Amino acid sequence: MDLRVKNLCKDYIKNKRKINVIKNFNYHFKSGKIYLVKGESGKGKTTLLTLLALLQNETSGSIYFDDKQVNALNNEVKCQIRREKIGVIYQDFNLLDRLTVLENIILLDVCEKRKSKQEAISDAEKILEMLNLSHRANHYPFELSGGEQQRVGVARAVVKNPSILIGDEPVSNLDAENSKKIVDFIKHYCRDNNKLCIVTSHDESFDQYADEIIYL
């Protein structure tokens, strides 16, 4: 799926002052490509990703998934589109402590009745195998290393077969070895499955894999 953005603007109001963070941003993100968003701290990288992931509303401008404008839809429909089409990987993993690895991964599919429980478990097990995490399926997040937790975060994002994968600093809390495992997985997953991937990273982890680098 392609994602096009036209004249996107985002303002925040802080102490009665308007901060114009995203200013007339235009871009055509293409299916199957990896985009890396860079910029100094405070330039609006996270803000841009949350707008593209439909996690918050823009101040003005338009967002299209293929030819369908999605940003003007009501929140319920946007939420549904987000759940179906977008996988998000968070910097701080965002796993639920009281659920096992497997339960974290199947939670949404089962709650939303997208798949039977057995189907969800089978899909999750396949992804865990791809990420070399099968032996951790019944462990809790606190029993895992940071790198393992982030691989669970990746598994949770891709298990629903999203069209767009969005990662906000997905490897910034990891050492070089774990970072490489995750970057390699994301690269192969997106190339092999023709997914659009948009990530931010403050270091060079994704530089050589990105098809395009966007500087804010």
Ligand X SMILES: Nc1ncnc2c1ncn2[C@@H]1O[C@H](COP(=O)(O)OP(=O)(O)OP(=O)(O)O)[C@@H](O)[C@H]1O
- Interface ranges with ligand X (CB under 6 A): 12, 14, 19, 21, 39, 41-47
Virtual CA dihedral for 175, 100, 82, 86, nearest 10 degrees? 40
Q: Which is nearer to ligand X, 21 or 133 (CB)?
A: 21
Q: Which is nearer to ligand X, 19 or 79 (CB)?
A: 19
Q: Which is nearer to ligand X, 104 or 200 (CB)?
A: 200
- Compute how many other C-beta atoms are within 10 angstroms of the C-beta atom of residue 196: 24
Please state the φ and ψ torsions of residue 182, each to the nearest 5 degrees.
-75, -40
For the chain, helix, strand, coil in percent to 5 are 40, 25, 35
How many whole angstroms separate alpha carbon 101 and alpha carbon 123?
13
Considering only CA atoms, give the Rg of the chain: 17
Q: Which is nearer to ligand X, 47 or 71 (CB)?
A: 47
- Compute how many other C-beta atoms are within 10 angstroms of the C-beta atom of residue 4: 16
Contact between 35 and 167 (Cβ < 8 Å): no
Min dist CB 40 to ligand X, Å, is 7
Q: Which is nearer to ligand X, 134 or 173 (CB)?
A: 173
Min dist CB 216 to ligand X, Å, is 7
Write out the E strands in the chain. Answer: 3-14, 17-29, 34-38, 60-65, 68-69, 86-89, 164-168, 196-200, 212-215
Residues 6+ apart with CB under 8 A from 28: 2, 3, 4, 5
Q: Which is nearer to ligand X, 43 or 191 (CB)?
A: 43
- Compute how many other C-beta atoms are within 10 angstroms of the C-beta atom of residue 71: 19
